[in-house]
Amino acid sequence: MTNTPKRPEYRRVADTIRGRIAGGEYAPGERLPTGKELAAELEVSQGTAEKALRVLAAEGLITMTTQGTHVTRIPQKIRRAVPQRYEATYRERGRGAFDVEVREHGYEPRWETTVTETDDATIRARKMWADDVPVQIAVTTVPKRVAEAADVKGQDTGTGGIISRMAQAGHGQDLMREEIDVRPPTAEEQEFLGLSEDHRVYELTHSAYTEDGTTVETTVHVMPTHLWSLAYTWYPDESR
């Protein structure tokens, strides 16, 4: 008979805290007891309690800073659904797909855009928030002639975002491709997104092409995996 390995004590402590968060005993944004306080309450060593907190921090359920340990303020992952988010009827319910999908989850979206120019392209770098929680970094590169025709060099690209402006300027996106990697965040990403080196981010590269195969947009999205879910829907039979 094979003996089942005993579950490590720190895992059992993490389960207890996780259950309290799920049950609402610890509310979003609420400060948690310290490792020392949890150790006394749960009758474990302080090292065990602190290891359990690090597990939950890596999962994204809590954040640990010099100001204390708090339950994450974004308890429900934001769902990024493709192809839905790229459909005009969806995007044009707001100022682009991000605006709509964040509002759908009951959060208030906000973003700051920095626009720079090279000889060949307009680059739009955005920092993005949901309820004032940093949730994404996105850098979009648009060929200069397309950016000028679509008038997407400003901070605000209006209802539907840059895809709608491109379509109106005759540069409609006919084909899209996305590649996704999961990696540790860079130091800069850690600082803005409030992550530790134990967290992971999606690096999603979105490329869009016109009917003749011309690239009109390349966007690199960086999103914490604990804040986002990625959903893709398609028909396996392209004739549909």
Instruction: Please tell me whether residue 77 adopts helix, strand or coil conformation.
Output: coil
- Alpha-carbon distance of 22 to 239, in angstroms, equals 44
Q: How confident is the model at residue 68 (pLDDT cuts 50, 70, 90)?
A: confident
Residue 74, CA distances (Å) to 80, 133, 142 in order: 15, 8, 31
Q: Which CATH architecture has domain 9-71?
A: Orthogonal Bundle (1.10)
Give the span between the Cα atoms of 206 and 185, in whole angstroms: 19
Question: Does 184 score more than 80 pLDDT?
Answer: yes
Thinking of the domain 78-232, which architecture would CATH place it in? 3-Layer(aba) Sandwich (3.40)
Q: What is the pLDDT of residues 117-166, one digit of tens each?
A: 999 999 999 999 999 899 999 999 999 999 999 988 777 888 999 999 99
The answer to whether the CB of 217 falls within 8 A of the CB of 142 is: yes
pLDDT score for 60? 79
Residues of the chain with pLDDT > 70, as a percent, come to 97
- Residue ranges of the domains in the chain? 9-71, 78-232
